């Protein structure tokens, strides 16, 4: 054999067993495993299981068992060498040529592993001994427990030139192996080797089997440079393929169906200690394709959690650029940024682990962060800036290699660009119209015109629009309670404003259907509260205190109905985009685009209409003057009468 077990292990790590088996067997998730019909025997009930954590398959009907190499040999008749070559190609692992293979290479790797393990033990001993006082003091400031220190095998490298070197020599490790393990540096001037790590808190970096393959060291001196120092790459350590804490996080991520990616060792350790074991850290480099695909084997949508400062955002943005080209169906990332100046350790200690979990639950999809990043650098106030921004977004989306994912991103980009440019082009028009924030809950001026329109003092108005409100789902349906409350307020104010009609008469002239819905949603005992609320609204909005001319009220109400339809159309579009199928045909895309054009066109009409209604309202207020306003004092005298009428309604 021209390669050792380390290469086979690397192939197994990069190719989960379910991926290889799934090419031939239709698998379904079953707890922590996958199951399917046996490829070796004909059966109707699945007896074939695959376990990615253990890296093997087992067939209960035939008794066959093995790893990915054995599966190709059993199902396709491939030789062992053929299976290795095919899977190595799939995994992107370069196999050594036969002429290049030397049995001593395998022994060299074993010697390197031995040297690294002895170094880890040495650093642990130094940490607990007399030399480790400063290291223990620093660890105490980071609130790490003794259990955590032991779990992560945290150690200390003495501040001497060759303390580790002499220790390893005493254990029989040759200098060339110490150097090959990245533990010592040979000066270019030919002087003796010296320790790579000195005066540093040491964090062993372990592979998927838990073997120590490298170290990260944090300087304890105030002037230590660099602050963090990693091992150089060696025969057993490729920085771009490793994730700190990956061997612990893998099974935890499988159970949680999620994994968190943080920036540094201490961040990962703090999160792990808080009880979230599905956490890994990058090794000070930008994401590589190998790290990305490894994380997707842990969970379909890992969460990148970086600091909210400039450096943290820059690191996250670089990660997005690396992720885009390799996005594929069913796999993406989410991102979250902690408050500026806080790392995960700070955040957990100040706000608690539950708050940290909540922050992770609120992580943003990769697309949202990408959009915000580019929008923050753009100026879309004019056509030139809009063209530039659109080109930049399209260029980024076109980097996606998977055609199905690219298609979805392209469609989403088109919809969002159209909406963004519409808003930008309206930015300099009159502000403060009711369509800007039609459904706000505060008592701002922006809904004053709506309330003005709802304050008609003719009973025929209520009857005229009751059926229409049902037809558009104003009463009942998913938004029934909200719409019903707004309609109740309208009815209350109508009754309060009309001296010639009592509340009892108003309610009895409504349809039985509305009254039944009123009781069903709110209960009859709440009607009196609603009546009193109507008086509070009346006092809050002075615009409802004067007479209105022509058909102004009807037009206000028509405007309100149109705005409701527009909002529902926007919600429908958002839902369609959110639940797009993987494959989008041209007809479906055309329907979406047509839907958005309808929304944009009607948004324009409503915007203009709202502006006109506001102008008319202003003119009426000016024309009415002080003498034309109705008396609030007179209205307040009616409170007792309305309360009596409310009691009559309750007995109706």
| pLDDT tens-digit readout, 92-135 | 777 776 545 455 566 777 889 999 999 999 999 999 999 999 99
If DSSP codes are grouped into helix, strand and coil, which group holds residue 102?
A: coil
Angle, CA 526 vertex, CA 525 and CA 532 arms, to 5°: 125
Are 282 and 292 within 8 A, CB to CB?
Answer: no
Which pLDDT score is estimated for 167? 95
587 to each of 325, 592, 598, how far by Cα in Å?
A: 27, 9, 16
Which pLDDT score is estimated for 272? 97
Q: For the ranges 199-203, 356-360, 421-425, which has the lowest average pLDDT?
A: 421-425
Whole-number Å distance between alpha carbons of 98 and 91: 20
503 to each of 191, 329, 506, 544, how far by Cα in Å?
A: 101, 59, 5, 18
Are 592 and 573 within 8 A, CB to CB?
Answer: yes
At residue 200 the predicted structure's pLDDT band, cuts being 50, 70 and 90, is very high
> What's the half-sphere exposure (Cβ side, CA atoms, 13 Å) at 444?
12
Structure tokens belonging to residue 553: 């009220």
Q: Put residue 519 in one of left, alpha, beta given phi > 0 → left and psi -120 to 50 → alpha.
A: alpha
For 629-643, the pLDDT digits (tens) are 443 344 344 444 544
Residue 356 CA, distance from chain mean position: 14
Angle, CA 591 vertex, CA 610 and CA 569 arms, to 5°: 30
At residue 427 the predicted structure's pLDDT band, cuts being 50, 70 and 90, is low
Which pLDDT score is estimated for 452? 36
Q: Which residues fall within 8 angstroms of residue 636, CB to CB, at 6 or more apart? A: 535, 539
Are 6 and 20 within 8 A, CB to CB?
Answer: no
Paired sense of beta strands 33-36 and 48-51, if any: antiparallel
Q: Does domain 103-231 have CATH number 1.10.10.10?
A: no
Tell me: pLDDT of 38 over 80: yes
Helices 5-14 and 80-91 cross at an angle (nearest 10°) of 50
Structure tokens belonging to residue 400: 């996606």
Tell me: pLDDT of 443 over 50: no
The mean pLDDT value for 496-508 works out to: 40
Q: Which residues fall within 8 angstroms of residue 226, CB to CB, at 6 or more apart? A: 219
For 134-151, the pLDDT digits (tens) are 999 999 999 999 999 999
The H or E element containing residue 200 is strand 200-206
Which pLDDT score is estimated for 551? 61
Which pLDDT score is estimated for 426? 67
Residue 140: CB atoms within 10 A of its CB come to 9
Whole-number Å distance between alpha carbons of 475 and 467: 10
Are 350 and 371 within 8 A, CB to CB?
Answer: no
Pick the CATH number of 241-372 from 3.40.50.2300, 3.60.40.10, 3.40.1360.10, 2.40.50.110: 3.40.1360.10
Whole-number Å distance between alpha carbons of 503 and 509: 10
At residue 61 the predicted structure's pLDDT band, cuts being 50, 70 and 90, is confident
The mean pLDDT value for 146-164 works out to: 95
Q: Where are the domains of the chain?
A: 5-91, 103-231, 241-372, 378-425, 436-650
Span 5-91 CATH architecture: Alpha-Beta Complex (3.90)
Which pLDDT score is estimated for 367? 94
DSSP-derived secondary structure letter, 41: S
Tell me: pLDDT of 483 over 70: no
**114 CB-contact burial (10 Å; exposed 0-12 / middle 13-18 / buried 19+):** middle
Q: Which of 278-282, 407-411, 493-497, 616-620 has the highest mean pLDDT?
A: 278-282
If DSSP codes are grouped into helix, strand and coil, which group holds residue 201?
A: strand
Which pLDDT score is estimated for 333? 95
Please name which of 416, 390, 439, 426 lies closest in space to residue 603, comparing C-alpha atoms.
Answer: 426
> What's the half-sphere exposure (Cβ side, CA atoms, 13 Å) at 4?
14
At residue 191 the predicted structure's pLDDT band, cuts being 50, 70 and 90, is confident
Are 2 and 95 within 8 A, CB to CB?
Answer: yes
For 561-618, the pLDDT digits (tens) are 676 677 777 777 777 777 766 666 777 777 777 777 788 777 778 777 777 766 666 6
Peptide bond into 144 cis (omega under 30): no
Percent of the chain at pLDDT exceeding 90: 33
Which pLDDT score is estimated for 425? 75
Residue 423: CB atoms within 10 A of its CB come to 11
> What's the half-sphere exposure (Cβ side, CA atoms, 13 Å) at 388?
11
Q: Which residues fall within 8 angstroms of residue 457, CB to CB, at 6 or more apart? A: 494, 497, 498
- Mean of the per-residue pLDDT values of the chain: 75
For 307-347, the pLDDT digits (tens) are 878 888 888 899 999 999 999 888 899 999 888 778 898 89
**288 CB-contact burial (10 Å; exposed 0-12 / middle 13-18 / buried 19+):** middle
- The overall pTM is greater than 0.75: no
Which pLDDT score is estimated for 275? 95
Structure tokens belonging to residue 276: 């979230």
Which pLDDT score is estimated for 325? 93
The H or E element containing residue 364 is strand 364-365
Tell me: pLDDT of 489 over 50: no
Residue 358 CA, distance from chain mean position: 12
Structure tokens belonging to residue 289: 């394709």
Sheet of 228-230: strand order equals 155-157, 200-206, 212-219, 228-230
Whole-number Å distance between alpha carbons of 1 and 10: 16
Which pLDDT score is estimated for 353? 93
At residue 276 the predicted structure's pLDDT band, cuts being 50, 70 and 90, is very high
Tell me: pLDDT of 419 over 90: no
Q: Which residue has the higher pLDDT, 268 or 560?
A: 268
Spell out a b/e string for 36-67, using b for 16 or more CB atoms within 10 Å of the CB, else e. bbbbeeeeeebbbbbebeebbbbbeeeebebb
């Amino acid at each position: 054999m021209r390669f050792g077990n380390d290469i086979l292990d690397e192939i197994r790590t990069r190719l989960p067993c379910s991926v290889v088996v799934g090419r031939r067997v239709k698998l379904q998730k079953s707890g922590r495993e996958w199951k399917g019909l046996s490829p070796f025997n004909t059966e109707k009930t699945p007896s074939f299981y695959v376990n990615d954590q253990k890296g093997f398959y087992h067939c209960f009907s035939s008794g066959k068992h093995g790893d990915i190499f054995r599966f190709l040999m059993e199902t396709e008749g491939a030789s062992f060498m053929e299976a290795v070559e095919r899977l190595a190609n799939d995994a992107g692992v370069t196999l050594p040529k036969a002429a290049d293979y030397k049995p001593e290479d395998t022994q060299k790797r074993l010697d390197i592993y031995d040297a690294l393990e002895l170094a880890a033990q040495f650093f642990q001993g130094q940490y607990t001994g007399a030399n480790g006082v400063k290291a223990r003091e620093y660890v105490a400031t980071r609130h790490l427990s003794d259990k955590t220190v032991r779990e992560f095998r945290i150690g200390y490298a003495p501040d001497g030139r060759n303390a580790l070197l002499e220790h390893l020599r005493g254990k029989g490790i040759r200098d060339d192996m110490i150097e090959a393990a990245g533990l010592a540096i040979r000066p270019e001037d030919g002087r003796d080797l010296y320790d790579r790590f000195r005066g540093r808190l040491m964090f062993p970096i372990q592979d998927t089997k838990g073997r120590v393959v490298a170290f990260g060291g944090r300087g304890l001196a105030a002037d230590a440079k660099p602050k963090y120092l990693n091992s150089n790459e060696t025969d057993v350590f490729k920085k771009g393929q490793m994730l700190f804490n990956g061997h612990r996080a893998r099974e935890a991520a499988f159970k949680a169906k999620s994994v968190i990616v943080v920036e540094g060792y201490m961040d990962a350790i703090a999160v792990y200690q808080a009880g979230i074991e599905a956490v890994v850290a990058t090794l000070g480099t930008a994401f590589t394709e190998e790290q990305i695909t490894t994380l997707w084997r842990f969970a379909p949508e890992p969460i990148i959690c970086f600091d909210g400062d400039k450096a943290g955002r820059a690191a996250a943005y670089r990660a997005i650029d690396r992720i885009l080209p390799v996005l594929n169906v069913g796999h993406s990332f989410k991102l979250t940024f902690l408050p500026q100046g806080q790392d995960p350790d700070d955040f957990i200690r100040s706000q608690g682990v539950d708050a940290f979990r909540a922050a992770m639950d609120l992580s943003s999809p990769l697309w949202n962060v990408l959009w915000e990043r580019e929008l923050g650098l753009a100026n879309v106030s004019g056509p030139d800036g809009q063209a530039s921004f659109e080109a930049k977004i399209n260029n980024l989306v076109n980097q996606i290699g998977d055609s199905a994912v690219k298609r979805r991103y392209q469609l989403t980009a088109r919809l969002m660009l159209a909406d963004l440019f519409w808003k930008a082009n309206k930015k300099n028009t009159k502000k403060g119209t009711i369509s800007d924030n039609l459904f706000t809950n505060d008592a701002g001026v922006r809904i004053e015109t709506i309330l003005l329109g709802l304050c008609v003092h003719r009973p025929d108005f209520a009857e005229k629009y009751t059926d229409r409100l049902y037809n558009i789902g104003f009463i009942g349906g998913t938004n029934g309670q909200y719409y019903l409350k707004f309609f109740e307020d309208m009815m209350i104010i109508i009754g309060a404003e009309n001296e010639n009609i009592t509340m009892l008469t108003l309610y009895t002239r409504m349809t039985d259907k509305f009254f039944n819905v009123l009781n069903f949603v709110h209960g009859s005992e709440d009607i009196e509260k609603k009546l009193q609320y109507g008086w509070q609204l009346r006092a809050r909005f002075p615009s409802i205190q004067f007479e209105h001319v022509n058909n102004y009220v009807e037009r206000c109400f028509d405007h309100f109905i149109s705005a409701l339809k527009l909002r529902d159309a926007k919600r429908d579009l958002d839902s369609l985009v959110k639940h797009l199928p993987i494959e989008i045909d041209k007809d479906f895309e055309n329907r979406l685009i047509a839907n958005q054009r309808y929304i944009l066109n009607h948004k324009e009409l409503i915007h203009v209409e709202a502006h006109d209604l506001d102008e008319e309202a202003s003119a009426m207020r000016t024309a009415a003057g002080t003498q034309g306003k109705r008396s609030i004092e007179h209205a307040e005298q009616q409170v007792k009468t309305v309360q009596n009428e409310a009691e009559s309604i309750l007995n109706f």
